[in-house]
Amino acid sequence: MGRWEPNARGRLEQAALELYVERGYEQTPVAEITKRAGLTERTFFRHFADKREVLFGGSGRLEELCAGAVAAAPAAATPMEAAVAALDAAAGVFEERGDLVRLRQSVIDANAELRERELIKLASLSGALADALRDRGVPDLTARLTAEAAIAVLKVAFGCWIHGPGKRTLRQLVGECVDALGAAVAGEPA
């Protein structure tokens, strides 16, 4: 037993999500979060760069997971196939924690600042994917475009998964979006 309760960071994350759900992000001062977590405001900002970041603690691990999936794809896989392997890995993580993901997303969708933060996390993920593709010897332009296309698929598939009727799994939706993107880019008429 230490001088303080353990897992301060985790307590802050949980208290923040709870309060953002209960009152909304904007109506929740950081002081409220730290009060619920039994800590001080100063400590919050030692663990998280800002009030938004507390919702995005897992983004680093997600990047690593996706980059690992690209690296682990068969040598014969095309760049797009390797990127889709990363999306499948990410989809698995989301589906495991479906309820938490939906709760978190409802908070993000309700606030513009949080949507901004989500977009920069996706952009960072796109960069990580592009790096991993380059490590496979994919040329720079192809790597960047493939990564951006993969993120586009993830955005759209994730949106369908969250807001749609919920009959299909996220992995299935990713597959459908990849096909639909292929058809659209190949110039199929509407």
- Which residues, numbered 144-163, are part of the site for a copy of itself (CB under 8 A)? 144-146, 148-149, 151-153, 155-156, 159-160
Cα-Cα end-to-end distance for the chain: 64
Q: For residue 60, which phi and psi values (nearest 5 degrees)? A: -65, -45
Which of a copy of itself, DNA, none does 39 bind, CB closer than 5 to 8 A by kind?
A: DNA
Contact range with a copy of itself by CB under 8 A, out of 14-22, 28-36, 74-82, 89-97: 74-82
Closest to a copy of itself by CB, 100 vs 112, is: 112
Q: Are 24 and 111 in contact (CB under 8 A)?
A: yes
Q: Are 160 and 178 in contact (CB under 8 A)?
A: no
How far CA 132 is from CA of 91, 136, 167, 189, in Å, comes to 18, 7, 32, 33
Which of DNA, a copy of itself, none does 80 bind, CB closer than 5 to 8 A by kind?
A: a copy of itself
Amino acid identity of residue 98, one-letter, is G
* Interface residues toward a copy of itself, by CB under 8 A: 76, 78-81, 112, 115-117, 119-120, 123, 133, 136-139, 141-142, 144-146, 148-149, 151-153, 155-156, 159-160, 176-177, 180-190
